[in-house]
Amino acid sequence: MKKAIYADKFFFEDHEEEIGYLLIEDGKFSAFSKERPASNYEILDYSGRWVAPGLVDTHVHGLCGYDIMDNDVNGLKTISKGLLACGVTSFLPTTLTADTQLINDVVKHIGEVYKEVSGAKIQGIFLEGPFFTEKYKGAQNSDYFSEPSIDLLQKWQDLSGGLIKKIAIAPEHNGTSEFIKYATENNVAVALGHSAATYEMAKAAVSAGASIFVHTFNGMSPLHHREPGMVGAAMTLPGVYNELICDGHHVHPQSAKILMDATGRDRVVLISDSMEAGLMSDGEYRLGEFLVTVKNKTAKMENGSLAGSVLRLIDAVKNVVEWGMATPHEAINMASLVAAKSIGIDDVCGKIAPGYGAGFIVLTPDLELEATYVDGEKGYEAELLT
């Protein structure tokens, strides 16, 4: 089947195109044309709308009442479908610190069923823990914390069938450098987070190969004028990527701008860190083993700590534009191509380019999500007020 998407604007990797046709053949992008294609193309008319690459969410704990740690195939399928309503066409199911056997079971199960989802595509697994420390543990269960273990990572990679793409650790642990070198040599991106590490500890980890900071500012030692800490490292070390939750609750907009200005918008990865309450109403939910109360779009544990988010990734894109710190093109890239680059999957997703699977989103000029397509087929359509 050949399709041509007609719209007012298209967002490509390093430029935008006005009015034209995005051509799709057999579920893949083929070309962009200013001219109307041949009669054997089905024309999808999105006049007055913008077309952008499907978003890539590299940090997703749950959605629609399901948690990745439920280890439930129907839950995984529901999360995948629900993410289309967030503008997301590729994602990493994200685990929590837990009993080793449960992590074993979860990664093995995802590896067995990940191709069965029909919404956003599973492009790998993000292991958030269990190699963290106490002070900035957030919604991670410290009963299961341990030193970084190459044997465990190897086991999880084997069980998942090679799906582990990212793992987060606290760099103050013993054996950090050896662990990071092993992980990166085996194509697993190492992220730093939930940590009280000093600037020098973080710098040493980055020198060993760590390349991402987990939800920057949250769950890490702050910037201080006598000790720059993890935040100082995230803002100044070259070549690193910084996850950022732009819901207006986790990080003050001005702090988000400071980070973007310090590192460049090509090094910031917009994430949702969404938990099971995403796309649900306020109420009582769980994140892993913890009770979470969601009120006014904020998820908190009983002790008042933030516990993931209920943020749609497309709303993060909209927020940073409305806050005046990014252009629409920059914001879209931070939630698609930059995210894909951060974990080395930009060869399969994150941009509109010939040969890539035709995952894309249709937006109003106000960045409201109108539709989401996967492999050239519409998977979600919003009910927009006209």
Angle at 369 between CA 166 and CA 23, to 5 degrees: 85
Residue closest to 157 by CA, chosen among 104, 210, 95, 98: 104
Half-sphere exposure of 217 (CA within 13 A, CB side): 18
- 68 torsion bin: left (phi>0), alpha (psi -120 to 50), beta (else): alpha
Query: Which residue(s) pair with 361 in the sheet?
Result: 52, 372
DSSP output for 241-265: EEEE--SSSSS-HHHHHHHHHHH-G
Catalytic annotation on 347?
A: no
Three-state SS at 18: strand
Alpha carbon distance 260, 241 (integer Å): 11
Q: Name the CA radius of gyration of the chain, rounded.
A: 20
The active-site residue, picked from 273, 315, 347, 366, is 273
Q: Which two tokens stand for residue 320?
A: 């940073």
| Residue type at position 11 | F
Residues with catalytic function? 273
